[in-house]
A and B are shown apart, each in its own frame.
Chain A
Amino acid sequence: MSALLSIRDLAVAFRTETGRFEALHGLSLDIPRGKTLALVGESGSGKSVTAQAILRILPRSAEISRGQMLFEGPDGTVDLARLPEDGPAIRDIRGRRIAMIFQEPMTCLSPLHTIGDQIGEALRVHTGADRRESDARTQEALAKVGFPDPKRALKTYPFELSGGLRQRAMIAMALIMRPALLVADEPTTALDVTTQAQILALLGKLQDETGMAILLITHDLGVVANIAHDVAVLYRGRLVEAGPKDEVMRRPGHAYLQALIEAVPRFDMAPGERLTPIRPARATIPPTREAPPLAGPILQVEKVSKTFTLRAGRLFASPRTVRAVADVSLTLRGGRTLGLVGESGSGKTTVSKMVMRAMPPDGGRILFDAGDGPKDVHALKGDALFAYRRNVQFVFQDPYASLDPRMTVRQILSEPMEIHGVPQPKRRERCRELMAMVGLEESALGRYPHAFSGGQRQRIGIARALSLEPRLLVLDEPVSALDVSVQAQILNLLKDLQQALGLSYLIVSHNLAVVDYMADTISVMCRGRIVEEADRATLFRDPVHPYTKALLAAVPDPSLDHPLDFAKVTGEASDPARWPKGFALAPHESGIMMQVEPGHWARYRSEAERNAA
């Protein structure tokens, strides 16, 4: 059987200010019918460019400079590369024969139009269906992708939906015309693990039903291992490896794929095993400095709660409230790392903001010990507060948005020191030290953030956080915006710096493997509450709570021997009312944390129920 789409010697070039830049150098690839081909590579490898070239939606500055893309349609073979730009022929194929879903379902849907309108549009464009007909078909499509109330969903706007439902809406939009090929560009990268597993399960199910081919673009080998049939690996615009999944993943011939596998944190890593970055970084880790010993923990969060009030819309309606954080307690010992894990909306970021004193808690206390005894962070005033700011620093998720593009690296690194009154000569010296610490050239101090890659920017962000010699760093998803190839570098750098400087970390993430790699103790949050906490070694290997188990079950493992059980990832585990007996909580119930074994706690409904279970 011939391939559905045969790409032959495809080259794509970009016109840039510095001249022509070729992003794909003669790619040849076959996409078989009815199967999933995973296209793997780091950012800049040309995998997204391939997807855009197939649909002919490349940016204006790009052009297909040579090659063919032979697509087997019902009316014979078409060379997609030869069709006129935006002409009727390619428009007829887009959305009807080949459809696409994207990484970021929020920005890929218009916020001004209902999803019913946007999904049905593909149908109206291609079949001339009227509104009533397209609404009926859209409703069917929404039901098929798992919308709980498809009729109501027709009239909802993207911003009213969760990330997972938005991506389901995108899938419904792509599949409403039953295309022969679905191009999925990082379809689950922006989602948390449980949602990711559900979307992957959905894609598999729809493929079985419709027999479509999927071109899955991803850098996540766990995803590849779980849903791909074939794998193709791109590196710097060239195909370096291709074949059936079993062959490629079990015996990665090319060193690059091997490196990619070793660069990602896995659960089966030996204690103390280090990740191997694809490109080793050269950071000058300063000599180990002993942190002053503390009598107790450096940070203690005691029964902290936070409730948000939504504005009431009606004139005399009482405002609605959302309980984001409920009675959360955490303990972080000096020089250690505490991981806070949960899905989006679980309240973990709210906790980190309260620790930063960016937001006051409604109840409870946060105690920080800078060596002179624990003090309530939210009661600090004047000099004590100023000192606290110096002791606790933040590393942001998005290295693009968190650096001012109009400041040089030197200004970015100096600003905290200026605020805290560090004299000028000392600042200059410290800037040089910091650059060496995070493995950047000293000469980069005079440059602006746009001159750096994502990984380098994150290093600058870390250097800025370290400039005041803090004791505690709050890391909010420190690598989730970074490419796999640099994640390992950043994680290793953070570990080394912790060791050398005696830092304490509070790491907040939905990436369980990252938390597992970094943390000493881990707390799992669901709907504003801690549901389980234990040492790293215990928690992910011997979880007790159904929510923790569900989170773990949803992580796709790059090893072919541990496939995901898609039947188990239904999303029920995020709803406390549907936990098994002993754990299940009604909306107003809080349950109690009980010890499972020394140092390992889980939330049960009541003591009696636990003993019965």
Chain B
Amino acid sequence: MIGLILRRLLTMAVTLLIISALVFFVIKLPPGDYLTNRIMELRATGEAGSVAKAELLIRQYGLDRPVWEQYLIWVGLMPGPAGFSGLLQGDWGWSFEYDKPVADVVGDALWLTLLVNVTAVIFVHLVAIPAAIYSATRRYTWGDSVVTVLGYVGLAMPGFLLALILLFYANRWFGLSIGGLYDASLTNRPWDGEKIRSLAAHLIVPTLVIGLGGTAAMIRRMRANLLDELAKPYTVTARAKGMAPTRALLKYPFRMSLNPFVADIGNLLPHLVSGSVLVSLVLSLPTVGPLLLESLRNQDQFMAGFILMFVAALTLVGMLISDLALVWLDPRIRMGLR
């Protein structure tokens, strides 16, 4: 088991390194970068002071060096103008757009992103699992059809549209301020009770909107899986033993049908981050989605690079979690390791 984790951590490190190279070179592919564009702009307007500052930044981040050297400096495998100072050392770089270190710009957005998305994931499971069980055990009944229709509506509804509708009514009925993850008046306050309460209230709409599509999809898949498992002989065995139907269902077919979902955790996390960009924009959530979009557009390379690396790391961690959970859940996989 420990061997497995060590092996996996090692492959994760290698994978991250490869991804970092891809990310960096892809961002670098378009001609020019933020600073050279900016310097040309500044020269045209003749602001000598700003030009000097920009040139300083270029030297500071080694942007005058060959691309592969820039990459190694960014990762922290080669000493830059300021010595070893890259991702590996915890220096996430400089956001030219905001003129601040990336860490300061991203700051709260990182954990708020995680918060919104983890809440959405929990919501998806809490709603989808009972709905799928209900629907599978009452196949082709009235209740099943209702769940199915609602599921299709959920799948078909564009997230941003639902977001706008919900925002409107949340504001009208509950007086919730529009947009953001907490009331705008609390922006510069430390995290005290009032701000956390405001956060909790503002989480509801994004959770619903982001989770809806996933919930609908999960109900459909889980229902299909359960129906397969319900027809399996071991389910009959459990009934023949005299088990109550619900208990038998949860212990045997339900547990069997969980595997694909556990295996999916790894894909779920990054998908939620990138998939919620549009909704985040509409709801003006201070998450990393909109930041990523903006930084890619402006060729704000360190910022974009960092966020992409963050998503990549999240994916790998998610996959590790799902693999470990599968090992724990399924003895067939556990024994296969021996």
Which A residues are closer than 8 A to B by beta carbons?
A: 55, 57, 86, 91-96, 99-100, 102, 104, 107-114, 118, 121-122, 125-126, 157, 159-160, 170, 173, 311, 313-315
Are A173 and B241 closer than 8 Å at their CB atoms?
Answer: yes
Query: How many angstroms from the CA of A22 to the CA of B53 in the assembled complex?
Result: 90
A57 touching B240 in the complex, CB below 8 Å, given contacts A108-B233, A315-B6 = yes
Known pairs A313-B337, A315-B3; A109 contacts B234 (CB<8 A): yes
**Which residues in A have their C-beta under 8 angstroms from that of B26?**
none
Per a CB cutoff under 8 Å, which of B7, B251, B331 touches A157? B331
Measured between beta carbons, the chain B residues less than 8 angstroms from A86 are 239, 245
A102 to B236, CA, bound (A): 10
Residues of A within 8 A of B330 (CB): 111-112
A311 to B337, CA, bound (A): 8
Q: Could you tell me the distance in whole angstroms from the C-beta of B326 to the nearest C-beta in chain A? A: 11
Chain A residues near B335: list those with CB within 8 A: 157, 159-160
With known contacts A108-B233, A315-B7, A95–B332 Cβ distance under 8 A: no
Closest 9 pairs between A and B when the two form their complex, measured CB to CB: A95-B242, A315-B3, A313-B338, A94-B242, A95-B241, A108-B233, A107-B233, A122-B241, A100-B240
- In the bound assembly, the distance between CA atoms of A94 and B239 in angstroms comes to 8
Between B241, B332, B337, the greatest number of chain A beta carbons within 10 A of the residue's beta carbon is seen for: B241
**Segment 210-239 of B: residues with Cβ below 8 Å from A:** 232-234, 236-239
* B337: A residues at CB distance < 8 A: 313
Interface size for B (C-beta < 8 A) is 28
Count the A-B residue pairs with Cβ separation under 8 angstroms: how many? 85
Kindly provide the distance from the CB of B255 to the nearest chain A CB, expressed in whole angstroms.
6
**Could you mark each residue 19-56 of chain B with 1 if its beta carbon is under 8 Å from any beta carbon of chain A, else 0?**
00000000000000000000000000000000000000
Contacts known (A112-B331, A315-B3); A102 close to B242, Cβ less than 8 A: no
In the complex formed, the residue of B with least CB distance to A55 is B240
Q: Which of B3, B236, B332 contacts A111 (CB 8 A)?
A: B332
Counting CB contacts under 8 A, is B16 at the interface? no
A-B contact pairs, 23 of them (CB 8 A): A57-B239, A57-B240, A91-B242, A93-B242, A94-B240, A95-B240, A95-B241, A100-B237, A102-B237, A108-B233, A110-B234, A110-B255, A112-B256, A112-B331, A113-B251, A121-B238, A121-B243, A125-B243, A157-B331, A173-B241, A313-B338, A315-B3, A315-B7
Q: Closest chain B residue to A56 by CB distance?
A: B239
B173 → chain A closest CB, angstroms: 44
Taking CB atoms, residues of chain B closer than 8 Å to A92 are 242
**With the chains together, A109 CA to B242 CA distance in Å?**
15
Q: B residues 145-168 with Cβ under 8 Å of A?
A: none
Check if A99 sits within 8 Å of B243, measured CB to CB: no
Contact of B332 among A96, A125, A157 (CB under 8 A): A157
Question: Are A108 and B236 in contact, with the CB atoms below 8 A?
Answer: yes
Contact present for A102 and B244 (CB under 8 Å): no
Give, as a whole number of angstroms, the nearest-CB distance from A26 to chain B: 25
Q: Is the interface of A mostly helix, strand, loop or mixed?
A: loop
Min CB distance A308 to B, Å, is: 14
A108–B237 touching, CB < 8 Å: yes
User: How far apart sit A157 and B334, CA to CA, in the bound complex (Å)?
Assistant: 11
B337 and chain A: residue at smallest CB distance: A313
Complex Cα gap A118–B331 (Å): 14
List A contacts of B6 (CB < 8 A): 315
Interface of B: prevailing SS:
helix
Q: In the assembled complex, which residues on chain A have CB atoms less than 8 Å from the CB atom of B199?
A: none
- Is B296's CB within 8 Å of the partner chain A? no
A289 CB to closest chain B CB (Å) equals 46
Bound-state Cα–Cα, A126 to B244, Å: 11
Instruction: Flag if B240 contacts A104 (CB, 8 Å).
Output: no
Contacts of B240 in A (CB 8 A): 55, 57, 94-95, 99-100
**Closest residue of B by beta carbon distance from A103:** B233
User: Which B residues lie within 8 Å of A55 (CB)?
Assistant: 239-240
The minimal Cβ–Cβ distance linking B266 to chain A, given in whole angstroms, is: 21
Interface string of B253-291 (1 = CB under 8 A from A): 001100000000000000000000000000000000000
Known contacts A112-B329, A157-B332, A313-B337, A107 near B232 by CB under 8 Å: yes
| A95 closest partner in B (C-beta) | B242
* Chain B positions 54-103 with a Cβ under 8 Å from a chain A Cβ: none
CA distance A102 to B232 in the complex (A): 12
- List residues of chain A with CB within 8 A of the CB of B245: 86
- Specify which chain B residues have a CB less than 8 angstroms from the CB of A311 in the assembled complex: 336
Q: Which of B234, B239, B240, B330 has the most CB of A within 10 A?
A: B240
Does B252 lie at the interface of the complex (its beta carbon under 8 Å from any beta carbon of A)?
yes
B338 adjacent to A126 (CB under 8 Å): no
Beta-carbon contacts under 8 Å, B310-335 to A: 329-332, 335
Question: How far is B310's CA from A235's CA once the two chains are assembled, in angstroms?
Answer: 68
- Given A110-B255, A157-B335, output 7 extra A-B contacts at Cβ < 8 Å: A86-B239, A86-B245, A92-B242, A99-B240, A112-B329, A125-B244, A157-B331
A175 to chain B, nearest CB (A): 12
Q: Hey, which chain B residues are within 8 Å of A121, CB to CB?
A: 238, 241, 243
CB of B136, distance to nearest CB on chain A (Å): 12
Contact B234 A107 (CB under 8 A): yes
List of A residues within 8 angstroms of B233 by Cβ: 102, 104, 107-108
What is the bound-complex CA distance between A121 and B6, given in angstroms? 37
State in angstroms the CA–CA spacing of A451 and B336 once bound together: 39
Across the interface, which residues of A come within 8 angstroms of B251, CB to CB? 113
- Pick from B3, B236, B238, B242: contact of A96, CB under 8 Å: B242
Which residues from chain B contact A57 at a C-beta distance below 8 Å? 236, 239-240
| Assembly CA distance A104 to B232 (angstroms) | 11
Q: Which residues of B contact A125 (CB under 8 A)?
A: 241-244
Cross-interface CB contact of A91 among B243, B255, B256, cutoff 8 Å: B243
Cα–Cα distance between A523 and B280 once the two chains are bound (Å): 72
Docked pose: A107 CA to B255 CA in angstroms: 15
A contact residues around B329 at 8 Å (CB) = 112
Chain A, residue nearest B244 (CB) = A91
Query: A95 to chain B: which residues have CB within 8 Å?
Result: 240-243
A233 to chain B, nearest CB (A): 25
Residues of A within 8 A of B236 (CB): 57, 102, 108
B242 and A122 contact, CB distance less than 8 A: yes
CA distance A313 to B4 in the complex (A): 9
Q: A108-B237, A112-B256 are in contact. Are A126 and B242 (CB under 8 A)?
A: yes
B244: chain A residues at CB < 8 Å are 91, 125
A118, B243: Cα distance in complex, Å: 11
